[in-house]
Structures are given as C-alpha cells and as structure tokens.
Amino acid sequence: MRIYPTMELQGGRCVTLDKGRLDEAMIWHVNPSETAHGWATAGAEWMHLTDFDAIEGRDTNSELVEEIIRSAEIPVQLAGGMRTREQVEYWIDKGAGRIVIGTLAAWDPNLVKELAKLHPDQIVLAVDVWQGQVMTEGWRSQSAFTPEAFIEAFSDTPFAAILVTDIDSDMEDVEAQLGLISGLAEKSRTPIIASGVVRTADDISRLAYIPNISGALVGRALFRKTIDLSEALSVASAAHEPVAEFQ
C-alpha cells in the first residue's frame, strides 16, 4: 500500500480543514516546497497536493504549485478546480504526475472517460461522500449520485485510482469510514485510495488489509505530528510481508 503525504494550499500557505470548511482553515507555518522535498527525502514515492484556491476558481497558488511539482523530486498527484479539459491538460503539461477529477466527472462523464483514455494512469476519480451522496464543487453541492452508482458509471474507465473521502466521519468516526471505504473497494474494479482516515500507524495497518485499497492520503496527522512519515511508510510497506510459520 502506498502512502501519499498530503499538502493542502490556501493563499500560498499549508492548511488543513475541518469537513471542508474553507473559511475555517488551520494554518501550518511551514515552507510548502521545503516540506514536499522533505517528504521525498523521507522515502515517499508520491505526494498529494490540493489547491483550495483553485476549487474557488482562483489561480493564486499556480506559481507555488508549479514550484512544488518541479522541486519535490517525487510525482505529484494534483487536485483542486479541475473543471475543464484545458485545466487538466495544462497541469499534465506542467508535469503533474496525476490529476484528480471529481466535479467534472459529475458534470461531463464522457469527457472524463475520454481524458482517462488519453492519459493512461494519470487521471484519478474523486468520490467525496456526504450523507450517502457524492458531493461536488469542493463539497458544497450534493449530486444525484450514490457513491456506488458513481463508481459503477465509470466501471470500464482506465483510471489510475479512485480517491474516496467520507465527509460525514471526516477523522472522527474512523470505524464508519473504514466501513464505507471497504464496501466501495469491494465493488470497484479500480484500486481505491483512502482519504482522511489515517491518524496513527494503527489506521494504516488496518487499511492495508482491506482488499483493493492501494493507498492512503496522510496529511493532517503529519502536520499534527500524531504520525511520522518514515513510520507510516514503514508500516505500509511491511503490511503484506510474509511471516514465518511458528515452529
């Protein structure tokens, strides 16, 4: 299972949100580019980057996002405001390793299917769930889709992964969140990346044994220092190592 150290940007600063409330961001006084480089040094193979300003239609973080992509030394999975073909292809051209698409998939599923075929292993479907429905526009609008129906609608689409976030239990009820994620992973033909569920190394251990879970985003826990990235990477890599039989 792959660990994606996760950075969220707002106004050029690293932040974390509670249940997606953009007006109540907790600011972390760190240098974003240096932090990303440190993750690579610690052994991360990928990182995840969400641009909250882009979700609101602003390009205020664009130069910083480009800098992180250039300097991180690991591939960047980029999310936030990918509402058009032009935006998706712009960031692929700028060197983003993967692009995460949620709202556009609800608005124009055929376009997203086409983008996934044009850019193999570079498009990730975001499935953000609140009260049993898929949310769009930065968790502000409720779609008509259940997460199961949304994933099924793209069952033959060659996504790199599907990123699942349970907004209801966002870091509070991890057991309920694991239930949702494991249920969707069982139904999906595409590997699932879990978002928002890792607080400690024990959470990584539990996730690693859910079938079809290919990775987990780890953000708030890293900034709060409830987990160390090196520890997270070690636990994830060791989860499926063969264990000698007891003699």
The 3-state secondary structure of 20-62, one letter per residue: CCHHHCEEECCCHHHHHHHHHHHCCCCEEEEEHHHHCCCCCCH
Q: What per-residue confidence (pLDDT) applies to 138? A: 62
Asked if residue 245 belongs to a domain, the reply is no
**Radius of gyration of the CA atoms of the chain, in A:** 17
Check residue 104 and give its pLDDT.
95
| pTM exceeds cut of 0.85 | yes
- Mean pLDDT across 65-90: 97
Structural domain count of the chain: 1
Question: Would you say residue 247 lies in a domain?
Answer: no
Please tell me the distance from the alpha carbon of residue 33 to that of residue 243, in angstroms, as a whole number. Answer: 39
In the predicted structure, residue 232 carries a pLDDT above the cut 50: yes
The domain that holds 136 is classified in CATH as 3.20.20.70
Query: 171 falls in which pLDDT band (50, 70, 90)?
Result: very low
Catalytic residue ranges: 8, 128
Using the predicted structure, report yes or no on whether residue 244 has a pLDDT greater than 60: no
Q: Is residue 244 part of a domain?
A: no
Q: How confident is the model at residue 159 (pLDDT cuts 50, 70, 90)?
A: very high
pLDDT: which is higher, 58 or 241:
58
In the structure, what pLDDT confidence band is assigned to residue 84 with cuts at 50, 70 and 90? very high
Whether 246 maps to a domain, the answer reads no
